Amino acid sequence: MGGWNMSNRGSNRMEAENKMDVSNLERSWIIERIEFATLRGERARHAGLNGRIGMHGKACSVPVARITIDGRHGYGNSIALTKELADAVIGKRLADLFDAVTGHLLEPYRLALEYPILDWLGQTWEKPVYELVAGAHRVPGTPLVVPCYDTSLYFDDLHLADERAAVELMKQEASEGFAKGHRHFKIKVGRGGRHMPLWEGTKRDIAIIHGVAEVAGPEGLIMIDANNAYNLNLTKEVLTAVSDVNLHWIEEMFHEDDALYADLKEWLRAQDQRVLIADGEGLASPHLVDWAIRGHVDVLQYDIIHPGFTHWLELGARLDRHGLQSAPHCYGNAYGIYASGHIAAAIEHFAFVEYDDIVIEGMDASAYRVADGRFHVPAEPGFGIRFDAERFTREVQASGWSR
């Protein structure tokens, strides 16, 4: 992941306005055990191609670590966790993994352990994680309800030669999301970038945008994501063609470039189109945050899993000071969906939870719900996800590891 560390690293302590109070971490809290396993599941619907790559399919997985401290467990998504890191951490005091000034987990432990540790703290203190990290803008004790959007509209129509049939298929998929409580939709575009002839694919993109907008209705917001399959002029052509749509943002229309974004911003103003520019997932430019501060980008989208939750506490505070929106990327990782809801409490200008309908066996997230375009985060301890302890133990024994 590029794009985040050069703009933000080195100023974390100054940026960390969303401080977590770790002054009451007890000295007796010692890390006793770390276990790792992968849990698997499926999307609600097979996901097709996007502007860059092939079939996404139905199968999904979540790498999970279980941490044991003071005889109690915390569970959470874990990447970059190695047996060597686990060996180094076993026997350490939990307090030694945190920066006492910012209240944030120290860098070496973040990607590997931030989620199970935060979940453990929430379970131990009997508070949801969002209460541990909440910013000053949040009213304590109120329900946490966050806007969300359906991110499942991929290129599922490429087998259809007829454009009208393709539009009807994508409208049907959007209608499925609407029936599940979604009101806002992100549509993958860029069919002409790789998978169809340029103008034929672009024409189909435009038709599908209009079709999904019909499903969303006048109050529903539409986002489009080209995965860098467009260029500047093609972006303008599409924006002109869908100027009658309630288009909220455009995402990764072409690889981020400050000169091209400045041009696009000027063009949008001249056309009186109030469409936001969003970017930041994937191999983003290391200058993207600075370009956003200079007014070229409106919404930042680094991933909620990598660079992760603690990084978003720091980056979100910085973006808030400049009036920029935060919308962490989350696709294909079910745990990240729920983590995104919690980070929303820490960031004043949080925009949306990206929702990918996934069920992971042994990971019960039924306390969360989507209704009327909003994501309801449960006021349960930790991240509010219940893990099947026996199933997780079996997965550790079968294909995982324990230290």
Model pLDDT for residues 197-229, shown as the tens digit of each residue: 999 999 999 999 999 999 999 999 999 999 999
Task: Share the mean pLDDT of the chain.
Answer: 95
Segment 60-76 shows an average pLDDT of: 98
Cβ(253)–Cβ(226) below 8 Å: yes
**For residue 9, pLDDT beyond 50:** no
> pLDDT band for position 20 (50/70/90)?
confident
pLDDT of 8 higher than 80: no
Tokens of 255: 């690889």
Pick the CATH number of 16-126+390-402 from 3.40.50.970, 1.20.58.220, 2.40.50.200, 3.30.390.10: 3.30.390.10
Closest-CA residue to 4 (of 255, 279, 326, 284):
284
Instruction: Give the residue extent of every domain in the chain.
Output: 16-126+390-402, 144-388
> Which segments of 58-162 does DSSP mark as H helices, in order?
83-89, 110-125, 129-133
In this structure, are residues 151 and 355 in contact, taking their beta carbons and an 8 Å threshold?
Answer: yes
* pLDDT digits 0-9 by tens, 100-116: 999 999 999 999 999 99
* Backbone phi, psi, residue 69, to 5°: -135, 130
Render pLDDT for 184-199 as a digit per residue (tens, 0 to 9). Answer: 999 999 999 999 999 9
Nearest alpha carbon to residue 114 among 133, 141, 136:
133
**Has residue 4 got a pLDDT over 70?**
no
16-126+390-402 and 144-388 share one fold: no
Strand partners, 360: 41, 363
Q: State whether the Cα torsion 197-203-204-209 is positive or negative.
A: positive
pLDDT band at 257; cut points 50, 70, 90 = very high
- Return phi, psi of residue 65, to 5°: -110, 140
Instruction: Give yes or no for residue 13 having a pLDDT over 80.
Output: no
Q: Which band of pLDDT confidence, cut at 50, 70 and 90, is reported for residue 6?
A: very low
149 phi, psi to nearest 5 deg: -140, 150
Q: Is the pLDDT of residue 3 over 90?
A: no
What pLDDT is attached to residue 17?
A: 62
Cα distances (angstroms) measured from residue 202 to each of 21, 189, 216, 226: 51, 8, 21, 11
- Let me know: does 130 contact 145? Beta carbons within 8 Å: no
How much is the pLDDT for 60? 97
Q: What is the pLDDT at residue 282?
A: 82
Summarize pLDDT for 258-268 with one digit per residue, the tens.
999 999 999 99
Backbone dihedral region for residue 219 (phi beyond 0: left; psi -120 to 50: alpha; all else: beta): alpha
Residues 6 or more apart whose CB falls under 8 angstroms from that of 75 comprise 64, 65, 66, 67, 115, 116, 119, 385, 387, 392
Distance of alpha carbon 130 from alpha carbon 380, whole angstroms: 10
Percent of the chain with pLDDT over 70: 96
pLDDT score at 21: 86
Are β-strands 31-47 and 222-225 bridged in parallel, bridged antiparallel, or unpaired? unpaired
3-state helix, strand, coil in the chain (%, to 5): 35, 25, 40
Task: Please say if the pLDDT value at position 11 is more than 50.
Answer: no
Helix (H/G/I), strand (E/B), else coil: 220: coil
Fold of 144-388: TIM Barrel (3.20.20)
| pLDDT at residue 14 tops 50 | no
* Structure tokens belonging to residue 196: 């169809």
